[in-house]
Chain A
């Protein structure tokens, strides 16, 4: 039976619920914490899957966008605006209800930006950054985007690490929970673990639906055409530069959104969130999940992020992801699910035979 995208997302939600029940039934409800975090990371990874697997562009800086989202939200929801109350901008924002007074740890009162407003601003900032970087770079070929995004990631990392009011090496902590309707929230006391898990799963399901809609429509076909042969796609009337830019910006916005929720969930963010290794990790997950396979990427991302967060790879975490990356690209560039062992073996045998015949393999 062939399911449409709504059915697929439904099955995903049902299996996520099944996992939750199983974890709680087995008395291992604490695992939900890492499952929730890996769901948020997966949100960022899905954007990269669209960019890399469908449009064929490489970003080595998506951790930078995650951090831009996370840090912006963290700063806006923790920076006390009380001393600036008289300033016109602050006063106007307060008048519009964009600010929120909340008690701090010591019983005093803080005046901070509403989490929802902070979230919108954070995503907007990342989107703007992606635009600025993307416009010049996406008109050019492959390695330019890779290097430029690597640069962006590195800058975000060194700014986060070197700026005092971003907490330098410690990052920003005591970020408040993100309030949601019906009394739920992202983050907050450990008792809300199950609610938090379902919030993350619902967000992931919604993002998945959006992306599936996108790739199964005209845009998706155009993206695949770009990946296959950019010149041919352009000749067929696909506005390649603009489409690549839109994809890049969308993936950056998803990464920033993931960063915002991850920060609220963890109650803080540190510079390591922006490190290049994180970006490489995301890329490795897309590679193993399969180029142009959103479901494959989703599954792999949930699994690998979970294992990594639980510390199963120990000190070799980076090595594992490096090996995955190289191994996948060498032996199965289309992803594990697309791997056809028999055909690969046959091709290898053919090549060896050719070499024996003295023919230079090309």
Chain B
């Protein structure tokens, strides 16, 4: 019984880590622009898909690196082509534009890769390799996912706290006008936030791909989970999003143990509505959920 419990817990944490990374990606762009980027899930999909294509001709680490870089370029292009030159667009307009972008990326992926479900090879061992921890059996890929995503979260946090660019991005997030008056290149910082966010999503997409598989249309679901997580943690606050991601992942994993898996998505959306109803500022944060 406790082994089974542990098994569900680990599965939940694996998915939760991915949701957390997507949620952080939302936060980075939200902080920079005040807009929710609905194409966030597509970055995760692109990372996985590009890596799967590249791994046929390149060693795995190099394929992942190139996939992440390529997705970062896509993220930069999205900002440069669609967002940058709009002068004070309304939230409605920005949402619709990012929704449209997500459709275009998805359709492009459908044209390039087709409807096939793809996966990267396991980083170590194969699908039948398993580790035994506390009586529960799990794939080493679970540890890869947990490790890589934790490292990603730690690195991003460090980047925002200590690096100069990170500090500039935070300044831009907290008051864009003041930041630009101080001579910060606010527009370039917004581009940087898209690049960073795309890269994070892509890496998460690569690491998790052997377990969850990748298909052209996984983006919407991931975006919704990521958004739930971002709200749950209080929009704009990154570490809280990580905690919220783990909570959601574990909740979902245990929900699947008692109800048909088709209803798994219902768990997160019900949670989202409940949170919006009861505590729109998020579980952990005291900050307001939206900026004036």
Residues of A in contact with B (beta carbons under 8 Å apart): 52, 56-58, 60, 132-133, 135-137, 139-144, 146-148, 150-152, 154-155, 158-159, 161-163, 276-277, 280, 283-284, 287, 316, 318-319, 321-323, 325-326, 329-330, 333, 351, 360-362
Residues of B in contact with A (beta carbons under 8 Å apart): 35-36, 38, 82, 85-93, 95-97, 99-101, 103-104, 106-107, 180, 187, 220-221, 224, 227-228, 231, 260-263, 265-266, 268-269, 272-273, 276-277, 280, 289-290
The one of B89, B100, B290 that contacts A326, using a Cβ cutoff of 8 Å: B100
CB of B114, distance to nearest CB on chain A (Å): 12
Chain B residues closer than 8 Å to A323, beta-carbon distance: 100, 104
B276 pairs with A140, CB closer than 8 A = yes
Chain A residues closer than 8 Å to B265, beta-carbon distance: 151, 154-155, 158
The one of B36, B93, B107, B228 that contacts A333, using a Cβ cutoff of 8 Å: B93
| CA distance in complex: A330, B96 (Å) | 10
CB of B87, distance to nearest CB on chain A (Å): 6
Chain A residues closer than 8 Å to B90, beta-carbon distance: 56, 333
Chain B residues closer than 8 Å to A158, beta-carbon distance: 262-263, 265-266
19 contacts between A and B (CB under 8 A): A58-B95, A136-B276, A136-B280, A140-B276, A142-B92, A143-B35, A144-B276, A146-B36, A147-B227, A147-B231, A159-B266, A162-B262, A163-B262, A277-B103, A280-B100, A316-B107, A318-B107, A326-B100, A360-B180
A329 pairs with B277, CB closer than 8 A = no
| CA distance in complex: A319, B112 (Å) | 13
| CA distance in complex: A158, B260 (Å) | 11
CB of A141, distance to nearest CB on chain B (Å): 5
A151 pairs with B103, CB closer than 8 A = no
| CA distance in complex: A60, B103 (Å) | 13
Chain A residues closer than 8 Å to B290, beta-carbon distance: 140-141
| CA distance in complex: A133, B273 (Å) | 7
| Sample of 20 more A-B contacts, CB < 8 Å, known A56-B90, A325-B96 | A52-B92, A136-B280, A143-B91, A144-B231, A148-B272, A151-B228, A159-B266, A162-B263, A276-B220, A277-B103, A280-B99, A280-B100, A318-B103, A321-B103, A322-B103, A326-B82, A329-B96, A333-B93, A360-B180, A362-B88
Known: A151-B224, A326-B82. A159 touches B263 (CB 8 A): yes
B35 pairs with A161, CB closer than 8 A = no
| CA distance in complex: A133, B99 (Å) | 21
B221 pairs with A154, CB closer than 8 A = yes
B220 pairs with A150, CB closer than 8 A = yes
Residue of B35, B103, B220, B290 contacting most chain A CB atoms (<10 Å): B103
The one of B92, B99, B187, B269 that contacts A60, using a Cβ cutoff of 8 Å: B99
Chain A residues closer than 8 Å to B228, beta-carbon distance: 151
| CA distance in complex: A323, B82 (Å) | 12
| CA distance in complex: A140, B224 (Å) | 17
CB of A308, distance to nearest CB on chain B (Å): 14
| CA distance in complex: A200, B28 (Å) | 47
Chain B residues closer than 8 Å to A162, beta-carbon distance: 260-263
Known: A133-B273, A159-B262, A321-B103. A329 touches B97 (CB 8 A): yes
CB of B232, distance to nearest CB on chain A (Å): 12
The one of B88, B96, B260, B261 that contacts A283, using a Cβ cutoff of 8 Å: B96
Chain B residues closer than 8 Å to A155, beta-carbon distance: 265-266, 269
| CA distance in complex: A321, B92 (Å) | 18
